A and B are shown apart, each in its own frame.
Chain A
Amino acid sequence: MSGDRNGVWRLRRADSGYPAALLDLDRDAPDALYGCGSDDLVRRLDVDETVTIVGSRHPSSYGLEVAEELGHLLGAAGLVVVSGMALGIDAAVHRGVLAGDGSTVAVLGGGPDVIYPRSERRLYERIVTSGAVISEVPPGMRPGPGCFPKRNRIMAALGAMTVVVEAAEPSGSLITAERAYKLGREVGAVPGRVTTRVARGANGLLADGAAVIREAQDVLDRLVGVGMSAVRRAGPELEPELVRVADAVEGGAVTPDAVALAARMQAGDAAVALARLELLGYVRVDAAGRYARTSMSAPEAGEGVTTLKS
């Protein structure tokens, strides 16, 4: 390893800190990694405690929600989360990890000091501050068209599992998943709506036998072992009316009118219930005013809740 003027460091294949996981790529393994941020994080990378999450640059709000949540919870559970800092899912993953004070590594297509996409400058800076940005491309080089498919093999090799959140067909995310599969890594996918174009890639992976990822716990069950690390965020208990409304949102109702219809209540009451759920953290709202469920779950019956039966 050697230092460089812009804070860029280098790890050659022969160096001791070179991630062992990349050696699984054999002759395809990068000769050197260039990086910004914490080189220590990269040197300590352990494939069994690393997960790669990738997805579309053009996700739905549902995809963004899931990606951020997965990043948040898996980072908080102690896994290192690898992604590609692309617009959309990748950026949401990194943001989630940072929000949960976890460790994240971004693998770029260009040099590690070349911010691409440029609009993610702030995210880049936050990753460099608390995680690491790496690339096999020397500093200063702008990413060319062939860079990203090549970059994907690094992401696939670093993680014990590659999770695809949303992906069109064909797409870079599917290339990553395929590389992961060929390396003998686990592949997981988040189910999407069958009518949605960006869900087709992920649903296709599921049809081919990929692990179903519904929540962070599913990843942990696979990587750490069943029941090892509970990461569900349990919220406060809810009145039956609020449960009905939360279920309606979970069932795909995004506007207060649709929620009122699905929960069979007055629009005004549904609006009040939605606001209360938002305050409790069970739902959240995007800039266009559409509601989505968060991963927060109601406490199980019996956990301090007296059920009618008893």
Chain B
Amino acid sequence: MLATARTFSLLGIEVREVHVEIDVCSGGLPAFSLVGLPDAAVRESRERVRSALENSGFRFPQHRITANLAPADLRKAGPSFDLAIAAGLLAASGQLRAEQLAGIMLAGELALDGAIRPVHGTLAMAEAAKLLGCRAMAVPAANGPEAALAQGPRVVPLERLGQLTLLGTEDEPAAPPPFELSLNGAAPDSPDLSDLRGQPYLRDALEVAAAGGHSLLIIGPPGAGKSLAARRLPSILPPLSRSDAMDVLRVASACGLLARTATAAQRPFRAPHHTISTAGLVGGGSPPRAGEVTLAHRGVLFLDELGEFSREALEALRQPLEEGRVAIARARGAVELPCRFMLVAASNPCPCGRGEESGECECQPGSARRYRAKLSGALADRIDISVPVDRPSAKDMGAKGGVDSASVRARVVAARERQERRLGPGRCNADMDLVELRAAALLTPAARRTLAQGHAKLRLSGRGHDRVLRVSRTIADLAGAQRIEAEHVARAIGLRRRGAE
């Protein structure tokens, strides 16, 4: 007998519909074959399905069984096909009525005892099921809240394989409440800017960076609070809009981060170690998996020890930074992943970290020079703001904490609103193109003089000049000024990134 169950295959953060066709022939020796480009985890599904069926009180048919995952040219990976295969098998062997599976999508991994384990990407699956006009979407109970976010078909949370018999009956498990978005206000456990003692210049730089979405480089010795400051950046970024929050959750769902950590949707903060591979950073592999840049979507990507990252990995960051998405091309088609993030990098001033002007630097002259060259070359044309920091003085450490995140965030939000009025919803100064920059850069005569002076005296390159202009626009937005004043340009000149001498 023949039966079909429907499920999805996850590709990056998108899903494709997959039909699981099961044929149980009464002739021949008992066998169970699985076709349709399955990877190892999918092929092992046969063993899990057999045990799970038998341990859930079902009968595993002693016949020749063929399972086909269609379309046959799409590579299938991961354990999320288990549930659909088991359901198809039950229908094909008459243990489930075919109409019970009508209009329902199934996804879940099976444990040998028949329990259903969470899988990745159920939010995207539920959204796709909505587009396909399905009646219901059966998911592992742990994935229920995220799938319910799609506000699509009825979500059926399943704890055990045995519950399949309830599908389409009055006893079908009730839909779970959706995941709490709680968009306004930072999550209570997120670190606050008031932890940063002293260091007013660094605070200013963080505020400007957040207000304009500018990427930022912090240079200073160990213990100067570089990563402490970076970690507090999400708390001063504007709160997520509903659609941005859904973007964040879609990525988290596809990467299996939601079922485990059920906190409110907040801007992600990712801090990969500098030994990370290029594929780990920007995504890759087959089937394609999201990298750190995608996990940082709508949030902050923090690269500590920028100079230690491999040249290859840093080069690979260019396209994502520029376009806000990564395209991973594979022989069987390309996958596109979103990655609009704010880049924050930190670095020691020299390899030993003490800094050359400290007089305690122990670096070899050659190595210090190479380090500087690499540092100033690294993403040189992608970082708008650079800020030097020192260890806070004893006086700073004793001081009360500075302004808290909420007050800074209010100013940032106001500045972003000005930018959106000028550029359109969701846009900020960092992603202005040259035409927009020229239109937005209304300079007072004094500001124009200061900029011209900078051009001549500091030998700003064309790019450097534009970057100063962009950052001064943000500083003017923070000040609530229509026109960019000389003081704004001067501050932007101070914040600009310096090349190697």
Contacts and interface: CB of A to CB of B under 8 A. Distances in A.
A and B: interacting chains: yes
Interface of A: 57-62, 87-88, 117, 119, 193, 195-199, 254-258, 260-261, 266-268, 270-272, 274-276, 278-281, 285-290, 292
Contact of A256 (B201, B364, B501): B201
A272 B491 CA distance: 5
A275 B490 contact: yes
A260 B491 contact: no
Given A256-B201, A257-B202, A278 B458 contact: yes
Contacts of B390: 254-255, 257-258
A114 B430 CA distance: 48
Contacts of B365: 57-58, 87-88
Given A260-B201, A267-B203, 18 more contacts: A58-B364, A88-B365, A193-B359, A254-B388, A255-B201, A255-B388, A256-B201, A256-B388, A258-B390, A268-B204, A270-B201, A271-B490, A271-B491, A272-B494, A275-B490, A281-B457, A288-B349, A292-B357
B366 interface: yes
B356 interface: yes
Contacts of A198: 359
Residue from the set A257, A272, A280 with the largest chain B CB neighbour count within 10 Å: A257
A8 to B, nearest CB: 27
27 contacts: A57-B365, A58-B363, A60-B359, A61-B357, A88-B365, A119-B366, A119-B369, A198-B359, A254-B388, A255-B201, A255-B390, A256-B201, A256-B494, A257-B202, A257-B390, A261-B393, A267-B200, A267-B201, A271-B204, A272-B490, A272-B491, A278-B458, A279-B454, A279-B458, A279-B490, A287-B498, A287-B500
A62 B357 CA distance: 7
B357 A289 contact: no
A58 B354 CA distance: 14
A255 B490 CA distance: 16
Contact of A279 (B366, B369, B493): B493
A288 B388 contact: yes
Contacts of A286: 498, 501
A266 B355 CA distance: 25
Contacts of A289: 219, 386-388, 498
B490 A276 contact: yes
B454 A257 contact: no
B226 to A, nearest CB: 12
A60 B78 CA distance: 56
B39 interface: no
Contacts of B165: none
Contacts of B198: 257
A87 B356 contact: no
A87 B366 CA distance: 8
A290 B457 contact: no
A60 B356 contact: yes
B202 A290 contact: no
B376 A287 contact: yes
Contacts of A268: 200, 204, 491
A154 to B, nearest CB: 23
A292 B500 CA distance: 16
The 7 closest A-B pairs by CB, nearest first: A196-B359, A289-B388, A267-B200, A275-B490, A288-B349, A275-B494, A256-B201
Contact of B450 (A61, A117, A279): A279
A254 B498 CA distance: 15
Contact of B372 (A196, A199, A287): A287
Contacts of B433: none
Interface in B29-62: none
Contacts of A255: 201, 388-390
A288 B487 contact: no
A73 to B, nearest CB: 18
B243 to A, nearest CB: 35
B375 interface: yes
Nearest to B372: A287
Interface in B329-353: 349-350
Residue from the set A193, A198, A260, A279 with the largest chain B CB neighbour count within 10 Å: A279
Contacts of B499: 287
Interface string B269-297: 00000000000000000000000000000
Contacts of A254: 357, 388, 390
A279 B359 contact: no
Given A275-B490, A275-B494, A61 B389 contact: no
B453 interface: yes
